[in-house]
Chain A
Amino acid sequence: MAHHTETGESFREQEAPVRDYQEGKKPTQEDERAKKFNDLERVIRRYSTEAGQLIRILQKAQDIFGYLPEDVQAYIAEKLEIPVSEVNGVVTFYSLFITEPKGKNMLNICMGTACYVKGAQVLMDTLKEQLKIDEGETTPDGLFTIKSTRCVGACGLAPILVANENVHGKISSGEIKKIIQTFRKGESVENQKH
Chain B
Amino acid sequence: MGKREYMPGPVVRKTGQLYDNPKKDVEKIRLTIDGREVEADKGMSVLEAARGVGIEIPSLCYLRHINETGSCRVCLVEVEVKGARTLQASCVYPATAGLVVHTSSPRVRRVRKTMVELLLSDHHRECTTCIRNLNCELQNTADSLGIRNIKWTGEMKALQVQNENPYIVRDYNKCIKCRRCEAICSKVQEINVYSAINRNYDTVIAPAFMQDLSQVACIACGQCVIACPTASLTEKECIDSVWEALEDPDKYVVVQTAPSIQVTLGEEFGFPAGTAVTGKLAAALRRLGFDKVFATDFTADLAVLEEAHELLERLGGRGKLPLLTSCCPGWVKFAEHFYPDCLENLSTCKSPHEMFGALTKTYFAGKEGIDPEKIVVVAIMPCTAKKFEAARPEMGTGDFKDVDWVLTTRELARMLRQADIPFHDLPEEEYNTPMGTASGAGVLFGSTGGVLEAAVRTAYYLVSGQEVDLPDYEELRGFSGLKEADVHLKDRIIKVAIAHGTGNARVLLDRLRSGEPFDFVEIMACPGGCVGGGGQPIYGSRWRKEISLDYRHNRADALDRIDASKALRRSHENPDVQKIYKEFLGSPLGEVSRNLLHTYYTPRGKLPGFHFGGIKGSHEGHVEENIPPHDNQSMPRPEIAPKV
Query: Chain A interface (Cβ within 8 Å of chain B)?
Result: 19, 30, 33-34, 37-38, 41, 70-71, 73-75, 77-79, 83-89, 92-93
Contacts and interface: CB of A to CB of B under 8 A. Distances in A.
A83 B614 CA distance: 22
A92 B197 contact: yes
Interface stretch (B483-491, B529-537, B562-570, B615-623): B615-623
Contacts of B6: none
A107 B388 CA distance: 48
29 contacts: A34-B614, A34-B616, A37-B615, A37-B618, A38-B615, A38-B616, A41-B617, A70-B610, A71-B612, A73-B208, A74-B610, A75-B610, A75-B612, A78-B606, A78-B622, A83-B192, A83-B193, A83-B195, A84-B216, A85-B194, A85-B195, A85-B207, A86-B192, A88-B209, A89-B208, A92-B197, A92-B199, A93-B196, A93-B198
Contacts of A85: 192-195, 207-208, 216
Given A34-B616, A83-B186, A87-B208, A78 B195 contact: no
A73 B216 CA distance: 14
Given A85-B194, A89-B195, A78 B618 contact: yes
Given A78-B610, A85-B193, A93-B196, 14 more contacts: A19-B616, A37-B616, A38-B617, A41-B617, A71-B612, A78-B622, A79-B617, A84-B208, A84-B216, A85-B216, A88-B195, A89-B195, A92-B199, A93-B198
B615 A89 contact: no
B53 interface: no
B493 interface: no
B607 interface: yes
Contacts of B199: 92-93
Contacts of A34: 614-616
Interface in B593-644: 606-607, 610, 612, 614-619, 622
A191 to B, nearest CB: 33
Contacts of A30: 614
B442 to A, nearest CB: 37
SS class, residues of chain B in contact with chain A? loop
Contacts of A89: 195-197, 208
Contacts of A38: 615-617
A75 B613 CA distance: 11
Contacts of B194: 85
Contacts of B614: 30, 34
A84 to B, nearest CB: 4
A156 to B, nearest CB: 30
Nearest to B206: A85
Given A71-B612, A92-B199, A84 B607 contact: yes
B607 A77 contact: yes
Contacts of B622: 78
A68 B609 CA distance: 17
Given A85-B195, A89-B195, A89-B197, A78 B617 contact: no
A75 B618 contact: yes
A30 B192 CA distance: 32
A29 to B, nearest CB: 13
A74 B607 contact: yes
A9 B299 CA distance: 67
Contacts of B195: 83, 85-86, 88-89
Contacts of B616: 19, 34, 37-38, 41
B615 A88 contact: no
B413 to A, nearest CB: 32
A87 B612 CA distance: 17
A19 B619 CA distance: 17
Question: Interface centre among A19, A41, A93, by most B CB within 10 Å?
Answer: A93
Contact of B615 (A70, A75, A77, A93): A75
Quick one: which of A34, A71, A92 has the most chain B CB within 10 A? A92
B192 to A, nearest CB: 3
Interface string B174-199: 00000000000010000011111111
Contact of B619 (A74, A78, A87): A78
Nearest to A89: B195
B195 to A, nearest CB: 3
Nearest to B612: A75
A192 to B, nearest CB: 37
A176 to B, nearest CB: 28
Contacts of A83: 186, 192-193, 195, 208
A81 to B, nearest CB: 9
Contact of A71 (B193, B207, B610): B610
B198 to A, nearest CB: 5
A92 B209 CA distance: 9
A37 B613 CA distance: 11
A83 B197 CA distance: 13
A27 B497 CA distance: 55
A37 B622 CA distance: 18
A147 B414 CA distance: 51
A54 B615 CA distance: 21
A19 B615 CA distance: 11
B193 to A, nearest CB: 6
Interface string B442-465: 000000000000000000000000
A86 B199 CA distance: 14
A78 B186 contact: no
A171 to B, nearest CB: 28
B610 to A, nearest CB: 4
Contacts of A41: 615-617
Interface string B205-236: 00111000000100000000000000000000
Contacts of B197: 88-89, 92
B21 to A, nearest CB: 30
B198 A92 contact: yes
Interface in B384-414: none
Contacts of A78: 606-607, 610, 612, 618-619, 622
Residue from the set A71, A84, A85, A92 with the largest chain B CB neighbour count within 10 Å: A85
B175 to A, nearest CB: 15
A168 to B, nearest CB: 29
A93 B196 CA distance: 9
